[in-house]
């Protein structure tokens, strides 16, 4: 595939943080004695924290305000973020992208506050000048708005833009934006990502690198 622009999801694609986010999201509920189904957290991989807690408030326990739950989640995340590291193979891959002067951006469901916290541990801003986060759009993944904004900011063409995702909501968002989406199995299986609509699914950045070419 000829690639002229790449839009990266963040959690599970740039940094190996999905498990940390899920621990923090669930930790808030555990700390307040709120029980929830075992598979609920996995349903919110790639979605914003707000969507998760809005569901909790509406369907499980309405004792707490959304802003309070988000604040508590961020506090737990800050405590465990020292475990954060880049996804295996990302650094070599992004080095190739930069050397070929490929326009690129992060398009994430994470908030600006979360990104600021992450940047203290892993300086992703050294690799990206353009970041689209939860605060930048009124609609979020799986809606196409985040990736459409990413296309606008990078001046990318849909036909030659590659999106790299690890979540169902992200794959749906990218495909709805009209782009080719490659799934990376850092969080979910081949089958789940393909069923969500990913064009191809890979187990590593090395495999992705072999599947694309730059001018």
With b meaning 16 or more CB within 10 Å and e meaning fewer, what string describes 158-178? Answer: eeebbbbbbbbbbbbbbbbbe
Q: What is the pLDDT of residues 10-43, one digit of tens each?
A: 999 999 988 888 899 999 999 999 988 878 988 8
pTM exceeds 0.85, yes or no: no
Q: CATH number of the domain at 5-16+84-211, please? A: 3.40.50.1000
Where along the chain do its domains lie? Answer: 5-16+84-211, 18-82
Q: What integer best gives the mean pLDDT of the chain?
A: 94
> Rounded to an integer, what distance in angstroms lies between the CA atom of residue 3 and that of residue 74?
36
> Rounded to an integer, what distance in angstroms lies between the CA atom of residue 187 and that of residue 109?
15
Q: What is the pLDDT of residues 149-190, one digit of tens each?
A: 999 999 999 999 999 999 999 999 999 999 999 999 998 999
């Amino acid at each position: 595939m000829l690639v002229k622009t790449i839009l990266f999801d963040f959690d599970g694609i740039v940094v190996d943080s999905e498990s940390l986010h899920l621990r923090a999201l669930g930790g808030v509920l555990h700390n307040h004695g709120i029980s929830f189904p075992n598979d609920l957290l996995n349903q919110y991989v790639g979605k914003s924290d707000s969507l998760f807690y809005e569901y909790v408030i509406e369907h499980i326990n309405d004792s707490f305000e959304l802003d309070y739950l988000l604040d508590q989640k961020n506090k737990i995340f800050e405590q465990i973020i020292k475990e954060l590291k880049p996804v295996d193979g990302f650094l070599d891959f992004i080095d190739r992208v930069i050397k070929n002067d490929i326009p690129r951006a992060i398009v994430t469901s994470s908030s600006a506050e979360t990104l600021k916290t992450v940047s203290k541990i892993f300086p992703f801003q050294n690799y990206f000048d353009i970041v689209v986060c939860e605060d930048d759009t009124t609609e979020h993944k799986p809606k196409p708005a985040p990736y459409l904004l990413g296309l606008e900011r990078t001046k990318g063409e849909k036909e030659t833009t590659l999106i790299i995702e690890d979540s169902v909501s992200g794959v749906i968002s990218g495909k709805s934006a009209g782009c080719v989406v490659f799934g990376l199995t850092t969080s979910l299986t081949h089958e789940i990502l393909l069923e969500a609509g990913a064009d191809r699914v890979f187990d590593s950045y090395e495999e992705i690198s072999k599947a694309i070419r730059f001018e």
